[in-house]
Amino acid sequence: MYETLAVVGATGAVGRIVLQQLVDRDFPYKRLKLLASSRSVGQEVRVKDETVRIELLQPGAFKDVDLVIASTPDEVSAEFAPYAVEEGAVVVDESGYWRMDPKVPLIIPEVNPDAINDHQGIIASPNCSTTQMVVALAPLHHAATVKRVVVSTYQATSGAGLAGNVELEASTKAILNGQAPKSETFQHPIGFNLIPQIGSEKHEGYTSEEMKMVYETRKILGDDQIQVCPTAVRVPVTVGHSESILVETEKPLSVQQATELFRSAPGITVVDDLPNHGYPMPRDCDGKDDVFVGRIRRDISGNGNSIAFWCVSDNLRKGAATNAVQIAELLQKSVASAN
């Protein structure tokens, strides 16, 4: 049981779901502290049967805190996480800032739970587009060693926070009303559109979002040889990232073997019944914690060592809040078993 749990960024798109997950999963803590920037200080948030007042995120705020679950922009995490650790807390961080730091474990509890034993105060949760892909790749990797992945994402507007969904609605309404849509959160109007850019240019024409999928996949699966070619696309869907994935393995896998591996892996639900129009779609996955896999098929362009599939997950849940709360649960188990 944690004495004091702090949630940083509780009023954001992910932070709200973190609070809901704490209640739904009956997460053990005695006292809950909510921390945010001065903009939200004083706001009251209802959690289970108590009302919690948001306090200022500042040095000294973690002196009585054991565990932090944080969902903030990178620059906020870069500043507060070191002093939170210095003040005695362990930080489960959802920002991108610490993920590739060699001293920071990057964890998906179903995939690499043992990495938690190496933490030095900060534990990172991967980017949403990486998390769902790696949950799906892990059983194939363990059985047949993943060599190469070609992935195209179809990412929901909530990946850009509450502002992303507000802009999708405003943009769609403006277009339906014959007005010019505005684009402030995204590079172009998102209503009735697809935008093949998430993040900024990072490496040889690949964006920062795409390179996260390359680097984080290797770190989580512990294999620097895995080659990933990603294309990340923003789509006019509020919740649920979808991914078209082609995976090449060292040992060949039949469609039946791959399907069995997906079915028996933790955190994956297979929905694969093309004749009856059965496959995962964002609307059906909204509000669910699993990663959904379907359209599992042989790569008819390949040499027998590759499988194609479709993967959908709620980006705010397994892609963010659920994974962070699962890390916190894992941490508690590892502390309990060490004592």
Residues 6+ apart with CB under 8 A from 148: 226, 227, 228, 229, 247, 248
For 201, half-sphere exposure in the C-beta direction (CA atoms, 13 angstrom radius) is 2
Collect all residues with Cβ–Cβ distance below 8 Å to 51 and sequence separation of at least 6: 44, 45
* Beta strand 44-47 pairing with 29-36: unpaired
CA distances from 107 to 92, 94, 268, 328 (A): 10, 11, 17, 11
Output 115 or 160, the one with its CB closest to ligand 2RA.
Answer: 160
Q: State in angstroms the smallest separation of the CB of 29 from ligand 2RA.
A: 26
Write out the catalytic residue numbers: 128, 241
Residue 21 or 155 with smaller CB distance to ligand 2RA: 155
Is 143 known as a binding-site position? no
- For ligand 2RA, the closer CB: 237 or 261: 237
Is 315 marked within a binding site? yes
Question: Residue 198 Cβ, how far from ligand 2RA at the closest point, in Å?
Answer: 5
Closest to 242 (Cα-Cα) out of 194, 178, 188: 194
Q: Is residue 290 within 8 Å of residue 318, measured between CB atoms?
A: yes
What stretches of 215-263 adopt beta strand conformation (E)?
227-234, 241-249
What are the structure tokens assigned to 169, written together?
């609605």
What single-letter DSSP state applies at residue 131? H
**Closer Cβ to ligand 2RA, 129 or 242, answer by number:** 129
To the question of whether residue 155 is assigned a binding role by annotation, the answer is: yes
Q: Which tokens sit at 331?
A: 């941490």
Residue sitting closest to ligand 2RA (CB): 159
SS3 call for 307: strand
- The answer to whether 317 is a known ligand-binding residue is no
Nearer to ligand 2RA, 163 or 229 (CB): 163
Partners of 306 in beta bridges: 248
> Would you say 105 or 159 has its CB closer to ligand 2RA?
159
Min dist CB 284 to ligand 2RA, Å, is 19
Q: Is 47 annotated as a binding residue?
A: no
Is 234 annotated in some ligand binding site?
yes
Residue 57 beta carbon to ligand 2RA: minimum distance, rounded to whole angstroms: 20
Residue 295: CA atoms inside 13 Å, Cβ hemisphere, count? 15
**For residue 206, what are the β-bridge partners?**
203
Binding site for ligand 2RA (CB under 6 A): 127-129, 155, 159-160, 198, 209
Instruction: Please report how close the Cβ of residue 31 comes to ligand 2RA at its closest, in angstroms.
Output: 29
Structure tokens at 41: 């200080």
**Has 148 been labeled as part of a binding site?**
no
CB of 255: closest distance to ligand 2RA in angstroms? 29
Binding-site positions: 11-14, 39-40, 99, 155, 158-159, 234, 315
Binding-site positions for substrate: 155, 234
Binding-site positions for NADP(+): 11-14, 39-40, 158-159, 315
Binding-site positions for phosphate: 99
